[in-house]
Structure 1
């Protein structure tokens, strides 16, 4: 098993691994300095950008601008597709989970998951029970240390709700753009509120639907990761010390009890 620190990067709808890698250059550079390698899988569903906006109300919408993708390529993908006639209803095909299972086995294990838009929606669902959903053992994928959502949303379909109902233990950072017109604030906050209060952090930037790459903002994200990892390490050290004390104390008590019992028999 590799000692490298790795992050699973899940791109947005109408993007690709290459596009998301290009859009997160600043973040990748800073995380590289912290010892993290970023891995970008590409969603299996090919998307026809030209067929996205065909209704009279939607004509003229620029897909590249709408989804923060690339205007120079038609090779774009999605993790899942919207159900016909339902705006916020999605069905994730088993092939997506199978693909990510193989990707983790071939490239992981991973320390964290970072997603944007649809990729963050998928990531937020996955980290509710990562190993169960992707059929991975603890040896194949130890517990994740963090999750970061850029414009991510909670999946609303009934079939996914049980996973959100239990207390999620993976620390999360939820990033929202004040001018984001693609994913409504209420949907972003629904994902944020799925986490216990002590396991979630909200960060707001003044822009729209994208992953900010400015140095000050990226520094905030990296500081959060470091603070989260260090906090977990400190809590683990405290637990180990407490367990050691509890282990030693009963031994002393047992010795004293044995002495008392032996005295009573003299």
Structure 2
């Protein structure tokens, strides 16, 4: 049982201008990473400080769809984080969903069963075991390798649950806390064995929009010990898909001092308005600053031979 931190909701408003162009990395299942640039975006020089962000979509979505829904957040981050240059990777989950996998889907109105709907895993009928989770994590690992590592991760719904798994898996020494794999225990995924070397200090931050964690003890390796990177948890006050208690359970699996909660007055979606976008920008800025301060402190504390 995880203890749930009682943190106040943030109600701070920021105002930032929007940028008419953006830089992003684009990835879909089964295809290579494409480095695309929209007209008018300045090309960063080799000395520019980059911030590589992995973007994980929700259940029934895809990488392209999630990009469409978060485009304004991209523009806001690119504009507001200068001179840091953020890039965004949007993988599509590997598990193609059929109408029977989607609650409330009206199959009679569907023109085809070949839907552009994807998942990182499927939950077993009547249970809480995640079918295909290793396949989903393998796909995410491949996306991370293709961009030579990431700095941060942002996810929505099932993608937010996966995002926190990513933050956990890239945490130093996390593999030692996973049990040997068995029918009752999920082991450290082999496809991730070399990825922590690309992230010796873990991630700078992870952001969850309507995220959740599984109550199934077979996955406790992801959550014990608690996720240690800075985390931001957006919770919809009217969300009827992922209840607040599930979001708080995920938050409780993160170190309390590193976790921040934001409640928005909406349902199951990514809030992209200026107020909520401003809170995201403020969190990202603080995460970057904290890392820089820690690096500066470590240099000051170094033993010198004179």
Aligned partners of 1:18, 1:204: CA distance in 2, in Å? Answer: 26
CA distance in 2, matches of 1:44, 1:166: 28
**Contact 2:205 2:284 survives alignment (8 Å):** yes
1:113 to 153, 156, 172: 153
Cα deviation digits, residues 192-230 of structure 1 (max 9, x gap): 011112110001100000001101210110111101210
Query: TM-score, length-normalised on structure 2?
Result: 0.69
Gap regions ≥5 residues in structure 1 = 62-72, 253-266
Distance 1:6 1:240 in 2: 24
> Please, what TM-score do these two structures have when normalized by structure 1?
0.79
Aligned residues: 231
Q: Which structure is larger by alpha-carbon Rg, 1 or 2?
A: 1
Select which of 270, 293, 296 maps to 1:237: 296
Distance of aligned partners of 1:203 and 1:94 in 2 relative to their CA distance in 1, 3 Å threshold:
same
Root mean square deviation of aligned Cα? 2.4
CA-to-partner distance for each residue in 1:113-139, whole Å, 9 max, x for gaps?
Answer: 000000011111221122754223444
Distance 1:206 1:102, change over 3 A: same
* CA displacement at 1:95 relative to structure 2: 2.2
Bigger proportion of residues as helix: 1
Runs of 4+ in structure 1 over 3 Å off: 58-61, 137-142
- Gapped runs of 5+ residues in structure 2? 1-45, 108-113, 176-188
> Aligned partners of 2:136 and 2:102: how far apart in 1?
21
Whether the 8 Å CA contact 1:145–1:171 is kept in 2: the answer is yes
The aligned residue for residue 40 of structure 1 is 90
Shift in CA distance, 39/129, structure 1 to aligned 2, threshold 3 Å: same
* Shift in Å, 1:156: 2.0
**1:96-175 → structure 2 map (5 Å cutoff):** 96-130=136-170, 132=175, 133=189, 134-142=192-200, 143-175=202-234
Equivalent position to 1:217, from 276, 285, 293: 276
